[in-house]
Structure 1
Amino acid sequence: MSSLSAGVGSGARPTGGIIGYPLSRLYEEVAYLAYHFHWSYEQLIVMEHSDRLQWVAEVAKINQRFNEPAGRFELE
């Protein structure tokens, strides 16, 4: 039996997700979204990790377009 199968079969919980995600990175994401959307810490910290990263990416895209030369900004 593989070590994964043995661990799962014995009731051990598989690891994964954001366990070990750098706390400094989490704070960056929360601060970035709080700054741009004025969402509270409580709203942001309970958000699913993948959702929070998607919002960070969307804000980054908007900021990038705003920083393009004058006259070239368009919302998609």
Structure 2
Amino acid sequence: MTYTTARLWEEVVYVAYHLHWPLAEIADLDHRTRTEVIGQIGAINNRLSHGM
């Protein structure tokens, strides 16, 4: 799978914005872990936006 720099930055910034983790730590996560973290953040945001 080709992974663009722009996509990596998008993921890193998303996690940093929500969890306030250092950029280097997020970038060092393997893709699968970073994707799982992003999914969990999205699920939390979804629940919060629907008042659950």
TM-score by length of 1: 0.63
Query: Of the two, which has the highest radius of gyration?
Result: 1
- Cα-Cα RMSD: 1.1
TM-aligned CA deviation for residue 36 of structure 1: 0.7
Structure 1 or 2: larger helix share?
Answer: 2
Q: Which runs of 5+ in 2 are unaligned?
A: none
Name the CA distance, whole Å, in 2 between partners of 1:26 and 1:62: 21
Q: How does 1:23-62 map to 2 (within 5 A)?
A: 23-62=5-44
Which residue number corresponds to residue 14 of structure 1?
A: none
Superposition misfits of 4+ residues, deviation over 4 angstroms: none
TM-score by length of 2: 0.89
- Which is bigger in relative contact order (C-alpha 8 A, separation at least 6)? 2
Aligned length: 52
